[in-house]
């Protein structure tokens, strides 16, 4: 008998194989239920809701790395002060995050400017819409 998560895995592998034009046997489950490996390539496959949530988390964790002018427009803090804080890299993240006036607007604007793939796909910044509420990101 096929369990629900096994059926899901098979379905996702089929969708990935169709998109990449490869054999399903070449696809291995990755480190979690959303990641898949094909040789040395690693992919992340998410629903729209899952992708939104992961992008939101990534953006919140990397506020320190945003362009100073973008941060200034969402915090009211002078760009030169932001640049000085950014010299501290990740250590400045909480201070900058807590300075954002409207985090939902910040996240929406970030995704609107760069696309969700920019935050999800560390390999090439692309998001591939596989239809039926599935999105694919190459992550290595």
The first and second tokens of residue 75, run together, are: 């915090």
Tell me the sheet residues that pair with 57.
none
- pTM value? 0.86
Residue 2: band (very low, low, confident or very high) from pLDDT cuts 50, 70, 90: very low
Q: Per residue in 57-68, is it b (16+ CB within 10 Å) or e — as a string? A: ebbeeebbebeb
pLDDT tens-place string over residues 89-106: 999 999 999 999 999 999
Q: How many residues does the chain have?
A: 140
pLDDT tens-place string over residues 17-60: 999 999 999 999 999 999 999 999 999 999 999 999 999 999 99
138 Ramachandran zone, left/alpha/beta (phi>0; psi -120 to 50): beta
Query: Is residue 1 scored above 60 in pLDDT?
Result: no
Reduced to 3 states, what is the DSSP secondary structure of residue 110? helix
């Amino acid at each position: 008998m096929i369990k629900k998560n096994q059926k899901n895995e098979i379905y996702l592998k089929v969708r990935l194989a169709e998109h990449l034009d490869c054999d399903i046997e070449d696809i291995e489950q990755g480190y979690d239920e959303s990641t898949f490996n094909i040789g040395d390539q690693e992919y992340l496959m998410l629903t729209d809701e899952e992708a939104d949530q992961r992008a939101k988390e990534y953006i919140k964790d990397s506020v320190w790395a945003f362009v100073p002018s973008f941060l200034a427009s969402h915090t009211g803090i002078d760009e030169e002060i932001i640049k000085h804080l950014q010299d501290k890299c990740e250590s400045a993240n909480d201070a900058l995050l807590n300075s954002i006036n409207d985090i939902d607007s910040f996240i929406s604007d970030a995704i609107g400017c760069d696309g969700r793939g920019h935050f999800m796909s560390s390999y090439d910044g692309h998001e591939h819409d596989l239809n039926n509420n599935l999105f694919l990101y190459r992550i290595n």
